[in-house]
Structure formats: structure tokens, C-alpha cells
A and B are shown apart, each in its own frame.
Chain A
């Protein structure tokens, strides 16, 4: 049975390291739903978070193949334990009273807020779990003019952590 996994890795912060990871996914025909990467507090390391879907066997193989990459320092499967996952979304809609009202009502149950307000357009910002963002996005349906998502990031809760 296929399941979604969030895999986080510490990667040598070197040119080409990211393409080793993305190249692995395309070369071995693994799914990649989102991928986000940036340097950590240690500038020699990047933290990469990717969301993939596969059977237990495939996920196991993905983790092994990732670990085999020389630039991958350490890896953690956030889906294996309690973890916090977040994604940021920015979306642009046409401004109207109805829209402003709608956002305000939606913001009661989500953290959505109007970040940019010009004469005719609004940019709405929302952070949360991927599924919340999916719901929010579908509730606005055809009214969304443009959308950008960061992809999922996450940390495991409690003591478990991904550090060198």
C-alpha cells in the first residue's frame, strides 16, 4: 500500500548536492511531491525536506539510496514518529467585499490572513499542515488567480532530532 512520507536530510551545502538528490528520484522513477531546501544554522549543511509516496518497500529503498549518496550526511523519516509539519502558501485573488468577508470567515479556523492589499488584488498568506492548505485552496476554488506553495517542512517532536 502506498503511503506519503516526509523525509528530511542533512546535506553537504555544496554545489550539485541538490541535483544528486533530485537526479536520484528521476533516475529511479521515484515520486517526489514536494522538495524544499535551505542552509541550516551550520552553513556547511543544508536541510532538505521532501515528500514522497510509495509502498513500504519503495520508501525503504528510497531511504537507502539517499543514504548512499556521499553528500547526504544524515536522514530521518518524519513519518515514522510524531512530527510537526508545516507549509506556507501565498495566493492572489481579485479584491471584493465578498472576498474579504470570506477570508475573514475562513481565518477563524485557519491562520489565513491578508498580507497584501492593493486597489484590486489581495495576497493571502497561510501556514499550516499540507491538508489544511489543500482544504483552504479548494474552498476558494476558481477565485484563485495565482498560487505558490513552499513545500512541506517538518521537525520531529520531542527529543528525536536530525543533527550531526
Chain B
């Protein structure tokens, strides 16, 4: 089969089993777009901004486990995509981003719409390629998908100069069945000896905690994590990225940990004598003050990326490899021990945790006239039976969603944890909808974040991807306002958003249903009405309490046992 470069790009996607490409045309990708036009297998989704394309592909990838694919033009097309590429990189999301480049003869001449895409994206990709020869396109595409989806996943950029996609130049095409790279050999199974050491620590533990992260979701190891948790009877805490891998409604789940983690999770970490970290990377939002992190604990760390081991926190038993086979190995070794692990074995520890739970750290003031953001999330949970895919933007609403919507399944909670990208939620929700057309998809957002990628409402109408937008509108950049209240004596420097649009009318202008909810008693009925409109995107503008804060909070540089508690919590400020 003889194909042009443009056709090879699309045929490679087809051979890779790609369903959707999120993209935006422009000069340097016109040949590729012409190849798209001539076929029906790979469907193209025309976004309204390249950032939207990357987030949509990201949402698609996070919710489905398949790599997201993006196609943008050179120059501004590529630079607009960078925020989304960096977002995917920080959360290890498999993504292949194809960028057009100016023709080879003019590379380096400051040609129209030229940027050094490989140079600009280098620090925020797993790898990138500039394809210099038409006969290299197919193999490079294969390598891109291989790199993006194996080991620690991540985005890969393939930069393709326009002249090698010329429809008049054809070369024989064959998509490689497999590809190997002499410099890339991701570890799969863990070292048995290390697992044995881990089991020894597990046997001796009196105050253990399983601390699991996004790696469990990415590594499809949710079932194994559940089995391990239930076999051992240990308390389980999860990071923001890990939520749903272990069921959020399970009594063994002690809540999210870290800056806005639960009192019981953070106290348990602090007092623990054994931390079993699984697919988690000891992010600063999790550890708080590094010097005081888990001062009494031995640490087992399972991670596919050797560079994650002892990066910020030195660990005692590292196990490098994919989470799933390592957990299976641990489970097999535990079974052969013939010992009983259960709640009773660490009864005193559970008693202590139950006592911490009595603090009721997620309690909030319910007797108010205003709509509390936490209340909206609780109602959202109720109305969707906890089954929705929930995306979020970044800020207070993100934390409220993480705290008050317990996820029982992996890949249901989609948010930008590492980079913290405002504007992520809406296009990501659209991407989720492409992967799961029948599912309820909610985008929990705020009036600040939503305006960063609002234009995708238009794409959502075009492709009929109904999403329910839950806009927690308090008029402030809430998390900024909260930090200003706590650490800048309430000097609210530029965190109040004056002149907000009428979101109801705005949604209507985009052809969707708009709602504004101002009364507490209307919250649940409005949500029910919105979710009953299966085929419509409904933008729900909830006017919420303007000064609500996210609690508990570990302020920057503080330790796990030093939390600011909600005024309505039984404990006020807790000091060690």
C-alpha cells in the first residue's frame, strides 16, 4: 500500500485503534486534515481552542484507560496545546499529540507559525519526536503510542513538517506490529526479595496505613488493591489522584490525605508505624512538612518509576514495577503465610482511628440560608447515586468534590491534580462523554475556572455530548480567597470577580439549558431536573456561600498533625 505522509498519519491512528482525535486545523496540518476528510474510521472532534483539545483527549484517556489523541497545527496551535500537555504529564496520562511543523526547508528561518515545538514541549512530555523523513512517520507513530502507554504513562509529541505530508509524495506503508527501543525497558514485575521484605514489615506492623495513589488507577490495579486492603484489614487512605481505586464508601477507607485530607487520615499517617505507598509519589500536597512526615513509620513504596523512589521521602522497602503484578505477588505471599490478618489483629489502632473519626472533620454549618458548596456536592452524589463521572477544575470546588463525593470505582474522578490546571474540567468532561456516551457526566467547577475554557460549550453542542455543569459560584477565586484569609489577614487582593456574566443566558446562547439556583431548597430538585434531561448539556449556576472555606487544612509547611479544622468540627485547631 502506497500512502502519502498525511495518509500515513491517519492510517497509523486507525491501525492503533484510535476512535477519536481532538484537534484544530491550520496551515501546516492541512494535508493531514485532507487525509481525515477521505475516511470515516478515525473521527475528528473540532474543538474551539487547542487547550480544549488536549484536556478533552486527557478526559477521554483518564476515563477509558486508552490513550488520548490530539492533532494541532504548528506555532500557536502547538503553544496553545502546551497547558494540556503539561497537565497530562504531571498526572502521567497517556496521550499522543501530533503537531504540524513548517516545511523542512524553512525550519529555523522564523517562518510563519513556526515555533520549536520539540524544544518548547521537552520539559513537559515523556518524549517527543521531530519526524524528518516520510518513511519514518509510521514507526515514529508506533513508538509514540508505545511510549505513551507503557511504563509510567505520559504524553508524547510527534512534530511533523508539512512537506513530508504532501499528498503527491507516496511511499509504501506498513504499520510496525511492535517496536523496541534499546534505551527503554520499563520494569514490569517487582523484585520478589523486596516483596518478601515488605511482607515481613506487614506482619510486624501495629499501626499500618495503606496510602494509595493515581498509579493504582493507571495500572488498572483497583481490584488487587481492594483485595489487599480486605485481606489485611488495614486502614486505606488515598491521594486526590487515587480516589475511587479503593471504594470511598468502604468502612476501611479513612478519607483522602494531605493538605485537605481528613483528620483521621492525616493523624493516622503521622502516628503510623508502617506506610504502604502504592502508586503514589509523596507529592508536597500530600506530605506537608517533609521533615515531620510519618516520623514513626517504615515505608514500603511500590511504583513503576524508579525516579519516584526516595525522591522527596526516603523509603525503606522500594519495589519497582507495575502495581498490579506486584500486588498479586504480595497477595500470593500473604496467602502462603497462613496467618490471619484482620481488623482485630490491629484492634487498638482501629480504636484510635475511630476516635479520630469522631472529630467529624467534614462537618459543615447546615443551618444557614445560603447554599453551602458541600451541600451541592452531597446532593449531586445523591441524585447520581454516586455513579457519575465527575470532572473538576481547580480550587475549592475541586476539594469539595473530592471530599463529599465518595467514589467507589476508579476512573470516575477526573481532575488535574499535579499541575492544577484551571480550565481542565469542561473539556475533560466532554472527553469523558466521548468514551462513555451513556454515562452521567458532571463537571464540578467554579465561576473562575469555567471561564478559562468556556468556549468548549460550543463543541459540546456540535458533537452532542451532554454534560451537567455544576458551577459553584461564590464570586471569588475561592481557594485564593481562603489563603488570603488565612495568611494575608483577609487582604483579598484580586480574588473577587466583579462583572460576572449571566451564566444562565450564556449557556442558552451556546444552545444549552441554563439554570440559576439561589435557594437551598431548590438544589436537589434542580439537580434532578437537570439529570433527567439526558440529551442536554445543562449549565447549573449555583450561587453559593461566598466565604465558605475548605477544611481541614494543613497550611503550607506544616505537618500532618497540625491541621486547621472547620469551625463546626468538634475539634478546633489541633496541635500536636
Contacts and interface: CB of A to CB of B under 8 A. Distances in A.
The winner among A23, A60, A70 for most chain B CB atoms within 10 A is A70
Nearest to B305: A68
Nearest to B118: A16
A12 B182 CA distance: 9
A72 B183 contact: yes
Interface string B182-195: 11100000000000
A64 B306 contact: yes
A124 interface: no
Contacts of A19: 119, 122
B130 interface: yes
Contacts of A61: 307, 310-311
Contact of B183 (A16, A57, A71): A71
Nearest to B181: A70
A79 to B, nearest CB: 19
Contacts, number: 39
Contacts of B118: 16
B352 interface: no
B310 A60 contact: yes
8 contacts: A23-B123, A61-B310, A64-B309, A70-B181, A70-B184, A73-B182, A74-B183, A164-B182
Contacts of B206: none
Given A16-B130, A70-B184, A64 B307 contact: yes
A60 B309 CA distance: 10
Interface residue SS majority, chain B: mixed
B370 interface: no
Interface in B184-221: 184
Contact of A15 (B130, B182, B307, B310): B130
Contacts of B505: none
Interface string A56-69: 01001100110110
Nearest to A28: B123
A65 B123 contact: no
Contacts of A15: 130
Contacts of A68: 305-307
A30 B147 CA distance: 26
Contacts of B307: 61, 64-65, 67-68
A164 to B, nearest CB: 7
A141 interface: no
Interface string B111-143: 000000011001100110010000000000000
B314 interface: yes
Interface in B215-270: none
B117 to A, nearest CB: 11
B306 A67 contact: yes
B122 A23 contact: yes
A164 B119 CA distance: 28
Interface in A6-37: 12, 15-16, 19-20, 23, 27
B182 to A, nearest CB: 6
A61 B307 CA distance: 6
Given A15-B130, A64-B307, A67-B306, A20 B122 contact: yes
Closest A-B pairs by Cβ, 7 of them: A64-B307, A73-B183, A70-B127, A68-B307, A27-B123, A64-B306, A65-B307
Contacts of B181: 70
Nearest to A164: B182
Interface residues on chain A, size class: 20 to 34
Contacts of A67: 306-307
B92 to A, nearest CB: 12
Interface of A: 12, 15-16, 19-20, 23, 27, 57, 60-61, 64-65, 67-68, 70-74, 164
Nearest to A15: B130
Contacts of B127: 70
Nearest to A10: B183
Contacts of A12: 183
A70 B151 CA distance: 12
Given A61-B310, A67-B307, A70-B181, 9 more contacts: A16-B118, A16-B122, A23-B122, A60-B310, A61-B307, A65-B307, A70-B127, A72-B183, A164-B182
Nearest to A67: B306
B307 to A, nearest CB: 4
Contacts of B130: 15-16
A70 B143 CA distance: 11
A23 B182 CA distance: 22
A80 to B, nearest CB: 17
Nearest to B119: A19
Interface in B356-375: none
Nearest to B123: A27
Nearest to A12: B183
Contacts of B123: 23, 27
Contacts of B119: 16, 19
A76 to B, nearest CB: 14
A54 B182 CA distance: 29
Nearest to B132: A15
A23 B123 CA distance: 7
A72 B185 CA distance: 11
A42 to B, nearest CB: 11
A38 B311 CA distance: 31
Contacts of B147: 70
B262 to A, nearest CB: 31
A66 B181 CA distance: 16
Contact of A57 (B182, B305, B314): B314
A15 B131 CA distance: 11
Contacts of A20: 122
A98 B183 CA distance: 54
A23 B125 CA distance: 12
A74 B314 CA distance: 25
A34 B127 CA distance: 25
A57 B310 contact: yes
B164 to A, nearest CB: 16
A164 B184 CA distance: 13
Contacts of A164: 182
A147 B247 CA distance: 65
A64 B305 CA distance: 9
A145 B184 CA distance: 46
A58 to B, nearest CB: 10
Interface string B145-170: 00100000000000000000000000
